[in-house]
Amino acid sequence: MENPRSKPDTSTFCIEDALYRAVVEDQTELICRFKGNGVLTFVNGAYCRFFGKTPEELIGRSFYQFLPEAARRTVETRIAELGIDKPAVAYEHSVLLPDGSLGWQEWTDRAVFCTDGRLLEYQSVGRDITRHKESVAALEVQRDLALALGLCRDIEESLDAIVEACLRLPGVDGGGIYFLDQASQRLELVTHRGLGAEFIKNVGSYEAASLQYALMIAGMPAYLDFSDPRFSARETVLREGLRCMGTIPVKTCGRSLGVLNIASHTVERIRETSRLAAEAIAGQVGPLLLRKITGC
């Protein structure tokens, strides 16, 4: 007769597995397990939510699909370092976000070994550090701009430096500065970067009846999705391939002087860190436009 003690206690295994999964699912960190080729064998809810996928869409597929080429090389190098003597490693890498933009993650990878020393698979715990990375980048842009403005020889060079600085903000790849012509009461484009010639030809100036003029007078930054029927250049924007835009009024001593525009061909919305940085930068535009308008 078979001794019941010799049978594996499968109920205990099931309970332990259920408890493990319950703990993992309650974590806010991204958790996954994968084979040496990057093919996922387990993902928790946070991991799925981050990438906008279901477990069924992820398990059995490689996570390398979410990595730019440079990040993939980083991950492969780090994983290759793991072994019995070095079972865990921590590092950061860039990642492709669901909206097509670039984000950043911090991961700790751990090699999981069988009792006989054979490699079973890898477990990784990660977190999104995109906002931190973007905040640091935005601060660096503002610091570098302050230094650059001290070296500029005239107003035009200073305005060019400001727009170039904006293009270094995360997710921003186009921009320009308009000033308010006091005689015609039109917004006139004085400098721009990252935008096509046809687009610039069609948006070189705006009349007082335009949405852009109204946004300047309103005095509050606006981030556009181009659905507003008052946006006169909507078709031009779509032909340019822009996906989002920010219009930041420029004022000095309560006087409307123009606008700083930032835009993106790649992301669906201007990032919060880039908005805050651009709004701070707009404060440096006001005195320059005032000097341009007054000639002082």
Nearest CA-CA partner of 215 in 205, 225, 203, 223: 223
Same domain, 240 and 94: no
Whole-number pLDDT of residue 26: 59
Same domain, 101 and 143: no
Same domain, 124 and 137: no
CATH number for the domain spanning 87: value is 3.30.450.20
Q: 257 with 293: CB under 8 angstroms?
A: yes
Same domain, 222 and 191: yes
pLDDT means over runs of 10, the chain (296 residues):
48 51 68 95 94 96 96 96 95 91 94 92 96 94 94 93 96 94 91 95 90 88 74 76 92 88 91 94 89 72
- Range of 59's domain? 15-128
Whole-number pLDDT of residue 28: 81
Is 250 exposed, middle or buried (CB count within 10 Å of its CB: 0-12, 13-18, 19+)?
A: buried
pLDDT digits (tens, 9 = 90+) for 189-244: 999 999 999 999 989 999 998 888 888 888 899 998 766 565 666 778 888 999 88
* 107, 128, 149 - which closes a domain: 128
Count of structural domains, the chain: 2
Whole-number pLDDT of residue 106: 97
Q: Which residues of 25-34 are buried (b: 16+ CB within 10 A; e: fewer)?
A: eeeebbbbbb
214's tokens = 């109204």
Q: Is residue 2 one of the residues assigned to a domain?
A: no
